[in-house]
Amino acid sequence: MCNIMLVVAYDGTEYCGWQIQKNATTIEQKIIEACQKLFSREIKLVGASRTDTGVHALGQIVLLKVDTTIPIHKIPYAINAYLPDDIVVRDAKIVTNNFHPRYNAKNKTYEYKIYNCNFPLPQYNRYAYFYHKTLDVDKMNEAAKGFIGKHDFKAFCSTGSSAKTTIREIYSCDVDIEDEMITIAINGNGFLYNMVRIIVGTLIEVGRGKMQPEDISDIIESLDRKRAGVTAPAKGLTLVKINYN
């Protein structure tokens, strides 16, 4: 039995998130179906991040356990032959028997895109949140630094979370703009349900002048979801990379 780590990219627009579920098409379902056609046996996968409906990925990590004689460097090509065009296995490597893509993750990086312009561009419609009101990116970047550190992020978690604790550590949070595209990049040891999208919604409020950068620490300390901004739309969010020890 081989323990194989897959690096997977996908456009999440047409899917109801990563995790397999009844009466809905998901990323995990499509990869399982592809692997079952390739290996002619029942397949179970373990994903590192349960991305939500409409969220994208460049570096989702997936554990596949299977007996196969296919050389490891050819496995991505073989699986991709059975996948739709909006899901791609980018890499594969053998890992140890005790590897777990979720529990062994050291940190994760997400990016959120906001197209800040008077009019939307169709080319960005699936991958960025169009926002026409002027945003102060410098203030947003100043506010973003308030998230760095180990905190109880209960105020930045949607209801329905099954997390045992709402304490997380953020290592970096940066806001940049290039050609009217704002990118919010955030790296941390883990994220709560909708946490990144709520952080983005809060930073938008700062960019509009409805909140001040110094308000971030007060919102975190309040543990009150109502104090933070709205949950930004899913389509602007991409899981970029997951790092391991």
Mark the binding-site residues, compressed into ranges. 110
Indicate if 52 belongs to the active site.
yes
Three-state SS for the chain is: CEEEEEEEEECHHHCCCCCCCCCCCCHHHHHHHHHHHHHCCCCCEEECCCCCCCCEEEEEEEEEEECCCCCHHHHHHHHHCCCCCCEEEEEEEECCCCCCCCCCEEEEEEEEEEEECCCCCHHHCCCCEEECCCCCHHHHHHHHHHHCEEEECHHHCCCCCCCCCCEEEEEEEEEEEECCEEEEEEEECCCCCCHHHHHHHHHHHHHHCCCCCCHHHHHHHHCCHHHCCCCCCHHHEEEEEEEEC
Q: Which of 11, 52, 85, 224 is catalytic?
A: 52
Closest CA to 112 of 155, 26, 52: 52
In the annotated binding site for substrate, the residues are 110
User: Active-site residues: which are they?
Assistant: 52
